[in-house]
């Protein structure tokens, strides 16, 4: 999220806290609701339950707004609250299901123009399965970085781990996805189905993503 948007969220939070501003509260809700629901679904995939978790967090914030003046980063505070609520809820669930790559995933392969719609769907499916195979923490970190554009420090605050751990987990996620997609590339090339290195483009994008987020220049 850009600095301007973060500042806008902080201002809305302050208006809600200090002025009991219901309109600011509603604006804050609409600004973050969708992202928080997607985040909640990483821990508890049922959308209706994820929506309820997020709604409960916002209601709690409004009711207890007088006690939240100390919060310096509203966005981080809300993500942590949703994470804790989702984890608590997920303890009663026996399994997690696949979180599908949404439309934003096209950024991973925007330089690739498949010859057929089938090839494009197949690539999405392979990426979907690759991300599903990541350990939960790796998956959460990868999606926070990919979907929300967060920096390592922000993700670390939300997950209550060190920035170094975030970098390590992000590297492991990138490494595993690269390995899976490289294997996919070899199979495709062996069958002479495609004429370009699809997986190479995905791998390159993953490396560029990791370099941008961590500040490392390869």
- Domain ranges in the chain? 3-90, 103-214
What does the buried/exposed string (b/e) look like for 42-60 if buried means 16 or more CB atoms within 10 Å of the residue's CB?
A: bbbbeeebbebbbeebbee
Secondary-structure class of domain 3-90 per CATH: mainly alpha
Sorting pLDDT into bands at 50, 70 and 90, what band is 120? low
- Of the candidates 180, 145, 181, the residue with the CA atom closest to the CA atom of residue 163: 145
Question: Between these two residues, 5 and 105, which has the higher pLDDT value?
Answer: 5
How high does pLDDT run on average in the chain?
76
Considering only 1-5, 96-100, 178-182, which range has the smallest mean pLDDT?
A: 96-100
The Cα 52–Cα 58 span in angstroms is 10
Rounded to a whole number of angstroms, the distance between the first and last alpha carbons of the chain is: 24
Q: Give the per-residue pLDDT at 142.
A: 87
- pTM over 0.75? The answer is no
3-state secondary structure of 102: coil
Q: Give the per-residue pLDDT at 46.
A: 85
Is residue 212's pLDDT more than 80? no
The Cα 108–Cα 181 span in angstroms is 12
CB 159 within 8 A of CB 198: no
Q: Which long-range contacts link 120-124 to residues 24+ away (Cβ below 8 Å)?
A: 123/198, 123/202
CB 174 within 8 A of CB 207: yes
CB 75 within 8 A of CB 149: no
Question: Between these two residues, 208 and 77, which has the higher pLDDT value?
Answer: 77
* pLDDT single digits (tens) 11-53: 999 999 999 999 999 999 999 999 999 999 988 888 999 999 9
pLDDT above 70: percentage of residues in the chain: 65
As given in the structure block, the two tokens for residue 123 are 């690539």
Q: What is the mean pLDDT of residues 81-99?
A: 68
Q: Give the per-residue pLDDT at 119.
A: 60
The Cα 214–Cα 195 span in angstroms is 33
CB 43 within 8 A of CB 53: no
Q: Which CATH code for domain 103-214? A: 1.10.10.10
* pLDDT single digits (tens) 49-82: 999 999 999 999 999 999 999 999 999 999 999 9
- Count of CB atoms within 10 A of residue 179's CB? 12
* pLDDT single digits (tens) 42-54: 888 889 999 999 9
């Amino acid at each position: 999220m850009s600095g301007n948007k973060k500042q806008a969220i902080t201002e809305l939070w302050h208006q809600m806290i200090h002025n009991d501003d219901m309109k600011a509260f509603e604006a804050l809700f609409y600004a973050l609701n969708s992202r928080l629901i997607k985040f909640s679904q990483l821990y508890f995939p049922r959308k209706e339950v994820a929506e309820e978790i997020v709604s409960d967090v916002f209601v709690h914030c409004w009711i207890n707004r007088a006690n939240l003046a100390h919060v310096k980063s509203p966005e981080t505070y809300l993500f942590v609250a949703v994470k804790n609520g989702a984890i608590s809820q997920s303890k009663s669930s026996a399994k997690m299901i696949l979180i599908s790559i949404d439309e934003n995933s096209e950024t991973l392969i925007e330089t690739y123009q498949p010859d057929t719609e089938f090839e494009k769907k197949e690539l999405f499916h392979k990426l979907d399965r690759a991300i599903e195979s990541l350990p939960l923490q790796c998956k959460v970190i990868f999606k926070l970085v990919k979907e929300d554009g967060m920096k390592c420090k922000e993700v670390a605050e939300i997950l209550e781990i060190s920035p170094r751990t975030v970098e390590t987990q992000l590297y492991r996620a990138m490494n595993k996805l690269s390995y899976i997609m490289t294997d996919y590339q070899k199979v495709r090339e062996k069958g002479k189905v495609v004429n370009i290195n699809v997986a190479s483009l995905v791998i390159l994008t993953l490396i560029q993503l990791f370099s941008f987020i961590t500040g490392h220049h390869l």
